Structure 1
């Protein structure tokens, strides 16, 4: 069912003109195939249906037109109708590989992937050209991916590339499988073999560079990206990856050069702008860093990394007011971003805006950020604010996620002693010292008035003797 773009245009114009006039014209079956293929490719399903109906009225015995009917049935999840028509077509043409391909498609859509594979293997036996084989091997590989059988998928994607060395989607799928299996060395070996026979394949060089980057061999990664650029000097992805490698090697000026090339090759990307900003920050060229961070958030206000980068930039330079200015803006854009609220809390804590800091930590928890530090930081802020009951409740909730955690237990002990619930305080302090005596400094740091109490000193002292 191949078609030529040049051949398609005139019959297509005639067909659409016929639909407008309701005057039935005759088309040969190949013309109908091209018309239907065009509509399916462009997602014009209702027009494809009309073309199939008219096509079968004019050519009722055309197997190819009936196969298009099967495709429509599959698109509409009418699997029984598709199966029935395929069985009929198989009786007419038992060696037509396209019938088996569509049968496999029906099975795949019904999650019967092993049966789909068996059916595709029959189609491979019937296929007549290496190009057909390549497509079929790729389909088998995809079915194995559905089954999470990555080793088998690799075998068939490799067969696909043996028949068609330019099928880069198969190459990507091979690397995806190796990545999933954590077999980076095997991926590198395969890509090097492939490049021996396809030395100017920029896609393979790019993938090879990514594998070397993953195993932290940055020098070899950089060389691979260089070869990708030599093969295609407009390959934006290769310049980006080369920039990332140079950052790892602390060669920030060269990294900036590579990122800048991408800005010249296509519209500026927020990622490249952000990386340039980060590089200038590392070079202590603050004005340029800020310039590119601002460009990043102007280019893509929804990129959270841009807002976080500019806020952290000011935090590192102890300009907490500026940091807060940008994190406030970020929260207006996306009030459900956990990273923003954590940063909001941290900045406010540094500014001693404790109510706002507590609000930030609480919001992060409400949004599902249950990291230990979030529970602990909120408890410490509530403790400083003197809201001991809320601090206790917060830590009890946190202990459900981190049971038997010494940092939680010491804080609970200090808080219970502070509110004169001595039995609970004693229980949690004993718990804490048994879990980790080295953290007992938490009591003196957070609850300095308690450390002199004989009961507390006695529990800590006994625990120290036991641990020695």
Structure 2
């Protein structure tokens, strides 16, 4: 047991003694240091009201104790009572005019008030009055980071690196701050500096991979993760992230190897199972995909993606009746997911539950009125029932929302042909051909006989772009 463990035990004991005193309305003696520890205990647990009660209690015995004043000022600052906090700090400064903690909190307070010049002034005073320069630089950097001044935070982290190149955390924090500021190049530069100092630093290679990933430089990200794994082959986050990049590159077999290795090393959570299942699904190995999706829901029954995955594998195997219960479970968890609702609607329609399917399309379009597949599928139900007027009406509403969607024009043309309204149909075909000539085959998917209609084939040939004629 080290000193920190003894200290924690002592604080816990003091907290219990203090709470017993309050509960029993008795009197106990606590020295100022013990009260500071009790107060800090509550602060760390976000129990600011209780922390303040400790301060008020302590003021009966130690009204001029600077440490307790600083804690009180810190609490008031956390509660956005800036004037009260500043008043307490000014009073504390009278007793200890070189206390670095006073200057640090003043600096943070002015940061919260967006007075950067005053913040800088007090942070500099903290640095001038400390024997723990690295620690204070970290405190200042974290204050700027918390206030979302990421570039400024990065400068302080880099100052630590300059003064003490052996402190790994400063490099990682600087890289992270630059990344948040949008300066990915600088983030990479800092990590490469750390690698220069210690080429076998697995964390540096891992975070370098993450940065390249965010820059969509997937091959470089994979290379960085490979270096990380070469240094520490049990570094499961690197394997997991590498697998994700391989999925982006559609290298599903390779991704499967990495996910499985991560699982063997202990990364056996529902998300990893889901991602692995997704690889099998993309390889059309639906039985294996379903097996891993089932493992995912056993780990976490609230993971909608896994329930949807099970349903989707059944739908792909043309077993819509089996799919429905799983798709409904996914929608129950993630009600606004239009992809889930779309596949559910399709399965419901295939099993003869037309009205339920139409309800799904209504839900989808309430969430996202621009979802092309929902309008097309809903209108197709009416078309298959030979309700041509209804099919046309549905797509007319869709066109009101997005008149530039060529799929709507091709589809409504088919419905109008079925109604015998040839002139209107041709007008929509012309509009569709102008917007996307290469997709004219969409006509034939709905009414194959149109391939033999000379008027239509001539119209398609008329609108054929010059670069398609040779």
Q: Same fold (TM over 0.5)?
A: yes
In structure 2, how many angstroms separate the alpha carbons of the residues matched to 1:74 and 1:283?
56
Residues 1:45 and 2:43 are matched in the alignment: no
- Corresponding position of 1:216: 218
Deviation at 1:113, TM superposition (A): 5.9
In structure 1, how many angstroms separate the alpha carbons of the residues matched to 2:173 and 2:306?
29
Distance 1:326 1:465, change over 3 A: closer
Q: 1:297-316: CA deviations, max 9, x gaps?
A: 22222212212322333344
Q: Which runs of 5+ in 2 are unaligned?
A: none
State whether residues 134 and 161 of structure 1, in contact with CA within 8 Å, keep that contact through their aligned partners in structure 2.
no
- Corresponding position of 2:293: 293
RMSD over equivalenced CA pairs, Å: 4.1
In structure 2, how many angstroms separate the alpha carbons of the residues matched to 1:166 and 1:330?
46
Give the secondary-structure state (helix, strand or coil) at the position aligned to 2:232: helix
- Corresponding position of 2:378: 378
- Corresponding position of 2:175: 174
- Corresponding position of 2:344: 344
- Corresponding position of 1:5: 8
Mapping 1:204-283, distance limit 5 Å = 204-213=204-213, 214-217=216-219, 220-227=223-230, 229-230=232-233, 233=234, 235-244=235-244, 248=251, 250-251=253-254, 254-255=257-258, 257-262=260-265, 265=266, 268-278=268-278
Residues 1:360 and 2:363 are matched in the alignment: no
Distance 1:291 1:133, change over 3 A: same
Q: 1:267-322: CA deviations, max 9, x gaps?
A: x4112323444456678876554332211122222212212322333344444443
Distance 1:332 1:78, change over 3 A: closer
In structure 1, how many angstroms separate the alpha carbons of the residues matched to 2:14 and 2:333?
51
Distance 1:20 1:164, change over 3 A: farther
- Corresponding position of 1:98: 101
State whether residues 206 and 225 of structure 2, in contact with CA within 8 Å, keep that contact through their aligned partners in structure 1.
no
Q: Which runs of 5+ in 1 are unaligned?
A: none
State whether residues 171 and 190 of structure 2, in contact with CA within 8 Å, keep that contact through their aligned partners in structure 1.
no
Distance 1:35 1:169, change over 3 A: farther
State whether residues 382 and 391 of structure 2, in contact with CA within 8 Å, keep that contact through their aligned partners in structure 1.
yes
- Corresponding position of 2:57: 54
Q: 1:133-163: CA deviations, max 9, x gaps?
A: 33234235415x624xx54443233334555
Give the secondary-structure state (helix, strand or coil) at the position aligned to 1:192: helix
- Corresponding position of 1:73: 76
Give the secondary-structure state (helix, strand or coil) at the position aligned to 1:57: coil
In structure 1, how many angstroms separate the alpha carbons of the residues matched to 2:174 and 2:377?
44
In structure 1, how many angstroms separate the alpha carbons of the residues matched to 2:269 and 2:114?
39
Deviation at 1:258, TM superposition (A): 1.1
In structure 2, how many angstroms separate the alpha carbons of the residues matched to 1:377 and 1:174?
48
State whether residues 140 and 156 of structure 1, in contact with CA within 8 Å, keep that contact through their aligned partners in structure 2.
no
Q: 1:403-434: CA deviations, max 9, x gaps?
A: 32322233344445655777865654443343
State whether residues 212 and 220 of structure 1, in contact with CA within 8 Å, keep that contact through their aligned partners in structure 2.
no
Q: 1:229-267: CA deviations, max 9, x gaps?
A: 35xx4x5423433554676473366335413324xx47x
Distance 1:9 1:466, change over 3 A: closer
Distance 1:423 1:120, change over 3 A: farther
In structure 2, how many angstroms separate the alpha carbons of the residues matched to 1:330 and 1:151?
41
Distance 1:340 1:280, change over 3 A: closer
State whether residues 195 and 201 of structure 1, in contact with CA within 8 Å, keep that contact through their aligned partners in structure 2.
yes
State whether residues 225 and 239 of structure 1, in contact with CA within 8 Å, keep that contact through their aligned partners in structure 2.
no
Distance 1:466 1:393, change over 3 A: farther
In structure 2, how many angstroms separate the alpha carbons of the residues matched to 1:164 and 1:52?
40
Distance 1:410 1:93, change over 3 A: same
In structure 1, how many angstroms separate the alpha carbons of the residues matched to 2:343 and 2:170?
40
In structure 2, how many angstroms separate the alpha carbons of the residues matched to 1:389 and 1:283?
41
In structure 2, how many angstroms separate the alpha carbons of the residues matched to 1:285 and 1:457?
40
State whether residues 120 and 140 of structure 1, in contact with CA within 8 Å, keep that contact through their aligned partners in structure 2.
no
Distance 1:406 1:56, change over 3 A: same
| Range 53-62 or range 424-433, more displaced | 424-433
Distance 1:249 1:383, change over 3 A: closer
Mapping 1:441-456, distance limit 5 Å = 441-446=441-446
In structure 1, how many angstroms separate the alpha carbons of the residues matched to 2:17 and 2:404?
77
